[in-house]
Structure 1
Amino acid sequence: MAPDPRSLAALGLTRDPVAYPLTYPGRLPAESGLLDGDRFLALRERTGAFPGGWALDAATTLDDLLRSRGAPPLADRHPILAVGSNGSPAQLRRKLAGHASVLLPLTYATVRGLVCGVSAHVSGPGYVPAAPVRVGGATGRLVVLWPDDAQLSVIDATEPNYHLLPLPGTVTVSLDGGAPLAGCRLYAGRHGCLVDRDGDPFHLTGQAELLTALLADLPGLGRLTGARDPGEFAARARRDPGLRERIRVLWRREGRVLEQPELSRKETPS
């Protein structure tokens, strides 16, 4: 039997950053689609139509397939802007498998007023993850994931270093260049974002490139970790929770952390 061309393996989407830290944020799909277990089914976008009406094939819309599988249609799901690895099918499959249905729509959107920055902490797998940074005038294309209630609960449990917040008022997310997407949220970092020695925010790149830049920007980081290259950094940080915390403290002590009040949780007065 010929291999399924829509399988994650055939599409080169199987490596998740938890298992392969230097692949962070993971490979993104080439187009909008539906993560369906070990497959990724491409969607044909329709101008002016809500994504639930986008076509999977000549006879089937996204909502048709979701309903046929007993899953909520898109209008009953939660649009979440993916700034880091939540746009990666492999990472999402890892998070959901065994805990919730691995049937999850992903749609590309135009984002204005925000870029993918870098969180001022090191994750358990040893990579330095993404965090949103508000930048006026910035425009880019990011993935919006659409979990149902159960999927969102599972994903939320994997995000202890982030708050799930509404988009800042200066940030818009639109599908197919249309009106802003109502109700869209994002995971904002609890630790602030990393800036370089000139105070400019780091932008998310491939992990090896990013770690090389971080080690060059702050020589004390290399001395603290004993890492001479990205592979050593990730391996040592993965093994040692205490080292991850010392790195976080170093960045803050050296003035490399940007706080963003508009991307912080608003506490309810007591």
Structure 2
Amino acid sequence: MAEPGPAGSLGALGLARDPIGDPLVYPGRPPAESGLLAGDRFLALREEPGAPPGSRRLPGGESLDDALRDAGGSRFADRHPVLAVGSNGSPAQVHRKLAGRTPVLVPMTYAEVTGLVPGVSAHVSRPGYVPAAPVLVPGATARLIVLWLDDDQLAVVDATEPNYHRLRTPAAVRVSLDGVPVGCGLYAGRHGCLTDREGRPFRLTSQAALLAALLADLPGLGRLAGTGDSAEFAARVRSDPALREEIRLLWRRENRVLRQSGLTPDGPCL
């Protein structure tokens, strides 16, 4: 068993497993609170009601903006806010995407979101999980992570999202940070979102529970994959791109795909 690592490390905080390496971990473990992902460490931000995010303090006492500046990064206000509905809310996944490509120095703050919830994309990803996609639900609320990315980080994350298009959050969606509205980017699914046999969008759950629900809802899925077991399903689709495509087409033939206005490639892309 791997050592948990020093205090503040992703290992010590139980945040080290990423879905790319282990698909059944999807969407990954989110942090307990807002903080700064700095390399393989996650530093919690103190709760300071009314304080601008950049002036909130980290465990060592320095402000977030001071920590960003000292590490050679852009200050908080100069970054691009991007709402995370799936694994981008996991520090391990963000670290996995950025490490070796651009410095891993990303504020991750919780926000209150109205009008949108994490649903399920109508495709299977290359690592072997069925990923998230945003779903518009009037009046629904969610507490989600916002990533604050610099220009280089945004370009890297964009490149890891070939099945999504980044656009502005629709007008019907409100994202607020400590009560202050925030205009965010959002990765919307290019394949639409999955619905059950009654036409209701699936909500994102743990991957094992989600796969069990999808297999139970559509028996043809298990027949196509040759298994009704979540772990075996993930292993088979991970190693078989043709199977992933056949599953995507199956969901379309069975009318299990919902496309929503405002979350399509025709929307206002960033």
The TM-score normalised by the length of structure 1 is 0.96
CA distance in structure 1 between the partners assigned to 2:109 and 2:196 by the alignment? 32
SS at match of 1:200: coil
SS at match of 2:262: helix
The aligned amino acid for 1:222 is G
Corresponding residue for residue 115 of structure 1: 117
Corresponding residue for residue 32 of structure 2: 30
Q: Does 1:73 align with 2:69?
A: no
Corresponding residue for residue 193 of structure 2: 193
Q: Name the stretch that deviates more: 43-52 or 32-41.
A: 43-52
User: Aligned pair count?
Assistant: 265
CA change 1:41–1:267 in 2 (3 A) is closer
> Which deviations, in whole Å up to 9, do the C-alpha atoms of 1:64-111 show, x marking residues without a partner?
100111110011100000000001011111100100001111000000
Corresponding residue for residue 260 of structure 1: 260
CA distance in structure 1 between the partners assigned to 2:166 and 2:103 by the alignment? 21
The TM-score normalised by the length of structure 2 is 0.96
Paired residues of 2:167 and 2:267 also in contact (CA < 8 A)? no
CA distance in structure 2 between the partners assigned to 1:123 and 1:114 by the alignment? 22
Any residues of structure 2 matched to 1:216-231 within 5 Å, and which? 216-231=216-231
> Which deviations, in whole Å up to 9, do the C-alpha atoms of 1:200-259 show, x marking residues without a partner?
000000000000000000000001000121011101100000000000000011000001
Any residues of structure 2 matched to 1:69-218 within 5 Å, and which? 69-176=71-178, 178-182=179-183, 184-218=184-218
> Which deviations, in whole Å up to 9, do the C-alpha atoms of 1:25-44 show, x marking residues without a partner?
00000000011111100001
- Runs of at least 5 residues in structure 2 that lack an aligned partner in the other structure: none
SS at match of 2:93: helix
CA distance in structure 2 between the partners assigned to 1:69 and 1:225 by the alignment? 47
CA distance in structure 2 between the partners assigned to 1:3 and 1:98 by the alignment? 20
CA distance in structure 1 between the partners assigned to 2:85 and 2:267 by the alignment? 23
The structure 1 segments of at least 4 consecutive aligned residues displaced by more than 3 Å after TM superposition are none
Match of 1:43 among 41, 45, 48: 45
CA distance in structure 1 between the partners assigned to 2:208 and 2:162 by the alignment? 24
Paired residues of 2:128 and 2:238 also in contact (CA < 8 A)? yes
Using the TM superposition, give the Cα deviation of residue 267 of structure 1 relative to its aligned residue in structure 2, in angstroms. 6.8
The aligned amino acid for 2:29 is R
CA distance in structure 1 between the partners assigned to 2:94 and 2:59 by the alignment? 24
Paired residues of 1:45 and 1:51 also in contact (CA < 8 A)? no
CA distance in structure 2 between the partners assigned to 1:3 and 1:238 by the alignment? 29
CA change 1:51–1:227 in 2 (3 A) is same
SS at match of 1:264: coil
- Runs of at least 5 residues in structure 1 that lack an aligned partner in the other structure: none
CA change 1:253–1:213 in 2 (3 A) is same
> Which deviations, in whole Å up to 9, do the C-alpha atoms of 1:115-153 show, x marking residues without a partner?
000000000011000000000010110000011000111
CA distance in structure 2 between the partners assigned to 1:250 and 1:147 by the alignment? 36
The aligned amino acid for 1:181 is V
CA change 1:249–1:190 in 2 (3 A) is same
> Which deviations, in whole Å up to 9, do the C-alpha atoms of 1:146-172 show, x marking residues without a partner?
110001111100000000000010001
Q: Name the stretch that deviates more: 16-25 or 50-59.
A: 50-59
Corresponding residue for residue 235 of structure 1: 235
